[in-house]
Amino acid sequence: PYIPKIMKNELQKEVLYEPETALFTNDELGLEFYKKIISEAKKFLKKEGTLIFELQYGQSKLVENLFKDNGYKNIKIINDYNGIARVISANYG
């Protein structure tokens, strides 16, 4: 889940067929789960282990900063076919 609930009315109707728990966060920026996973994954990743996330429009720099703040490196942002930053990956260790 990475979409703030306040954006629900802006989504395409096809997206809303997914369960709300798979889409929405309780925070305003949609970073709730990124923060938790990035922080906790350090305990479980092998050296140079990689995390990969799908991104909501406009979140790439915010998630990139979360990675940096938690000691990850080799951060890569991948755009979708429309040129929107859609995937981010980073290594830890």
- Exposure of 35 by Cβ count < 10 A (0-12 exposed, 13-18 middle, 19+ buried)? middle
Residue 7 has what pLDDT? 76
Task: Give the per-residue pLDDT at 9.
Answer: 77
**Predicted pLDDT of residue 40:** 96
Calpha distance 9→63 (Å, rounded):
23
pLDDT tens, 35-64? 999 999 999 999 999 999 999 888 999 999
Q: What is the value of pTM for the model shown?
A: 0.82
State the pLDDT at residue 68.
97
Q: Which one, of 90, 68, 65, 69, lies nearest residue 78 by Cα?
A: 90
Pairing assessment for the beta strands 3-4 and 24-25 based on DSSP bridges: parallel
- Do 7 and 57 contact (CB within 8 A), yes or no? no
- Find, among 91, 47, 44, the residue nearest to 70 by Cα: 91
